[in-house]
Amino acid sequence: MTMLNYTIKDLLNKGKEAVLQEVCVQGWVRSFRSNRFIALNDGSTIRNIQLVVDFENFDAEILDKINTAASLKAIGEVIESQGSGQEIEIQVQKIEILGESNPDELQSTILQPKAHSLEKLREQAHHRFRTNTFGAIMRVRNSLMFAIHKYFNENGFVYVNTPIITGSDAEGAGEMFTVTNFDLEKDLPKNEEGNVDFSEDFFGRHTNLTVSGQLEAEVAAMGLGKVYTFGPTFRAENSNTTRHLAEFWMIEPEMAFYNLDMNMDLAEDMLKYVIAYAIENCPDDLKFLSDRFDKEQTQKPQNERSELSLMERLEYVLHNNFVRLTYTEAIEILQNSKHNQKKKFKYPIEGWGMDLQSEHERYLVEKHFKSPVILFDYPAKIKAFYMRLNDDGKTVRAMDVLFPGIGEIIGGSQREERLDVLDEKMDQLGVSKENLWWYRDLRKFGTVPHSGFGLGLERLVLFVCGMGNIRDVIPFPRTPKSAEF
C-alpha cells in the first residue's frame, strides 16, 4: 500500500473513495477530546479531519503533547466515520508532534477554542489566520483576487504594474504619505523660501506613496487598449471609519474607446462575475460566514438589520440589474425622503452640489432601491480634474457604484480626452500642468475617448463576507496610530 500525502481539503473531498488508503496528514490541533478524537485543521479548508487515537497504543508522553494549537503529523488508515458529522476519519497508527503548545499560555490567546471578539482577533493578528472566521475570510479574499485576474485575462485586458512611489502631484484622490530618504534626525536642507528642498532627496524631487495608479494606467491604455492594475494603494486619511484603511489594494481597469455606459457595464459585469466565482469556489467558507452574518443580524436593533441573509444578498446582486441614476435624480430622492424631512441624516440634504456621505449612499441602496446603485453625472465641483465635462458645463461623467452595507465600492469616470477642456480644468483647480506634462501629452498625439474605475478590494471582501469592519478583511491592517505586526 502506498502512503499518500493529502491536504485535509483534498482528503475530505475524496470522501468514501479514500477509505482503506493509508494517508499522511499534517496540521494544527483544534481540539482533543476523550483522549481519543483529534480535530485537525491545516488551513486548506474550514473543515477539520477527525483523527481517532486508540490511547492504549500510544505513549503517555505523546498523548500529553496533543494540546490545542500543537502541530502534528499523523499517519493512518482512512475509515468510514462511526460518528455523525463527518463522512470519513483517520484511524491513526503513528503521530509525530511537530510543535508543542503550552496549555497555560494558550489561555490568553485567541487559539483557545471559544468565541472571541473581532477586536481581540485584531490584537492577535499573528494568530487569527488559524481561526475559523479569519481563515474563511482569507480564502474568500484569495478567491476574489484570483477571479479578478481571471475575468480581466479572459476579457482581453493587459495587467500592468503602475509605480508605488510616484512623483505625480495629488490628483485629489486622498492625502499622501511622503517617501523620503532624508535623515530626519538632522536638519533638512531648505530652499530660499524656507521649505524643505527635495531636490537634494533621493529622487531629486518630492515623492509619495501612490494614492491611485490611474494616471499611469491611462498612459498604458493609450498604447495597449484595455489594461488593469492591481496593487497596494496608500492614503493618509485620518478618518477612523470601518471602511477606510491607510493601505489597501485597488483594482483599476482603464479602457481606450470606452464611454461611461460601457464603463458601467464593465463594472457591473465584473462584480457579478467575481462574486459568482467566490460562491462557486468557497461554498464551505461562505456558508460559515453567512451563518455568522445572520446570527449577528439578530443581535442588532430591528431598523439596522439586513432584510436579506448574506447568501440572499449575494444572489440578489447576481440576478438583478444595478439601478442607474444621475446624481441630480438621487439628490431629489434624498431631499424628498421622509428620512431627510424628519432630520434623521447626520448630514442634512442641502441641495444640488453637495457631496454625498456614506449615510446618503446607504439610504439609496438599502432603504429606497433595495438594490446596488450606480450614480453618475456628478457636479464637476466635487469630482477630480480628469473627469469628462458634460455639455451642460456643470456635471462630469463620473460614476460611483454603491453597495448595501458599504456605500461606495467603486469610483470611476470617463476621462477628459480634449486637451483644451482638460487644461482649463487644471487651471481652475490649480493642478500643475508642468508636473503632469506627460499626462497632457496623451491628449496631443491620437487622443481617444477612454474610461476606467477603481475598485477597493477590501470593500468587495467586506461585502462578500458580510463583515462590518475593513480591519477584519486584510491580514495586517494599517490605520491611524496602528501598524503593529
> Interacting stretch for ligand ATP, rule CB under 6 A, among 183-191, 323-331, 426-434, 456-464?
456-464
Could you give the C-alpha distances from 38 to 102, 156, 327, 418, in angstroms and in order?
17, 48, 57, 67
The interface with ligand ATP within residues 368-427 (CB under 6 A) comprises 408-411
Element housing 95 (H / E): strand 88-99
User: Minimum distance between the CB of residue 237 and ligand ATP, rounded to whole angstroms?
Assistant: 5
Q: How far is CA 249 from the centre of its chain?
A: 7
SS3 165: strand
Q: Do you know the residue count of the chain?
A: 485
User: Minimum distance between the CB of residue 235 and ligand ATP, rounded to whole angstroms?
Assistant: 5
Candidates 122, 458, 463, 473; binder of ligand ATP (CB under 6 A) is 458
User: Minimum distance between the CB of residue 229 and ligand ATP, rounded to whole angstroms?
Assistant: 12
User: Minimum distance between the CB of residue 280 and ligand ATP, rounded to whole angstroms?
Assistant: 24
The interface with ligand ATP within residues 226-265 (CB under 6 A) comprises 235, 237, 243-245, 248, 250
Q: Which of 447, 434, 391, 409 is nearest to 218 (CA)?
A: 447
Would you say 89 or 458 has its CB closer to ligand ATP? 458
Would you say 65 or 478 has its CB closer to ligand ATP? 478
Count residues contacting ligand ATP (CB under 6 A)? 18
Would you say 404 or 454 has its CB closer to ligand ATP? 454
> Interacting stretch for ligand ATP, rule CB under 6 A, among 135-143, 311-319, 328-336, 452-460?
452-460
Would you say 111 or 245 has its CB closer to ligand ATP? 245
Candidates 79, 145, 158, 173; binder of ligand ATP (CB under 6 A) is 173
Q: Which of 270, 376, 288 is nearest to 324 (CA)?
A: 376
Distance (Å, rounded) from C-alpha 211 to C-alpha 169? 10
Would you say 207 or 229 has its CB closer to ligand ATP? 229
Distance (Å, rounded) from C-alpha 388 to C-alpha 373? 21
Give the phi and the psi of residue 103 in degrees, each rounded to 5: -60, -30
Annotate 270-308 with b (16+ C-beta within 10 A) or e (fewer).
Answer: bbbbbbebbbebbeebbebbbebbbeebeeeeeeeebeb
Angle, alpha carbons 462-468-472 (nearest 5°): 65
Distance (Å, rounded) from C-alpha 391 to C-alpha 388? 10
Would you say 76 or 456 has its CB closer to ligand ATP? 456
Q: Which of 215, 246, 211 is nearest to 231 (CA)?
A: 211
Binding pattern for the stretch 280-309 against ligand ATP, x by CB under 6 A and - elsewhere: ------------------------------
User: Minimum distance between the CB of residue 260 and ligand ATP, rounded to whole angstroms?
Assistant: 15
Q: Which of 236, 119, 222 is nearest to 173 (CA)?
A: 236
Contact (Cβ atoms closer than 8 angstroms) between residue 242 and residue 472: no
Candidates 404, 454, 466, 477; binder of ligand ATP (CB under 6 A) is 454
Contact (Cβ atoms closer than 8 angstroms) between residue 422 and residue 443: yes
Would you say 237 or 423 has its CB closer to ligand ATP? 237
175 binds ligand ATP (CB under 6 A): no
Contact (Cβ atoms closer than 8 angstroms) between residue 373 and residue 404: no
User: Minimum distance between the CB of residue 462 and ligand ATP, rounded to whole angstroms?
Assistant: 9
Neighbours of 69 (CB within 10 A): 20
Would you say 102 or 240 has its CB closer to ligand ATP? 240
Would you say 110 or 260 has its CB closer to ligand ATP? 260
468 binds ligand ATP (CB under 6 A): no
User: Minimum distance between the CB of residue 26 and ligand ATP, rounded to whole angstroms?
Assistant: 36
> Interacting stretch for ligand ATP, rule CB under 6 A, among 317-325, 389-397, 414-422, 454-462?
454-462
Would you say 318 or 382 has its CB closer to ligand ATP? 382
Q: In what order do the strands lie in the sheet with 207-209?
A: 165-166, 207-209, 178-179
Largest CA distance in the chain: 86
Q: What is the DSSP letter of 368?
A: I
323 binds ligand ATP (CB under 6 A): no
Would you say 203 or 345 has its CB closer to ligand ATP? 345
Would you say 147 or 410 has its CB closer to ligand ATP? 410
456 binds ligand ATP (CB under 6 A): yes
Chain contacts with ligand ATP (rule: CB under 6 A): 173-174, 235, 237, 243-245, 248, 250, 408-411, 454-456, 458-459
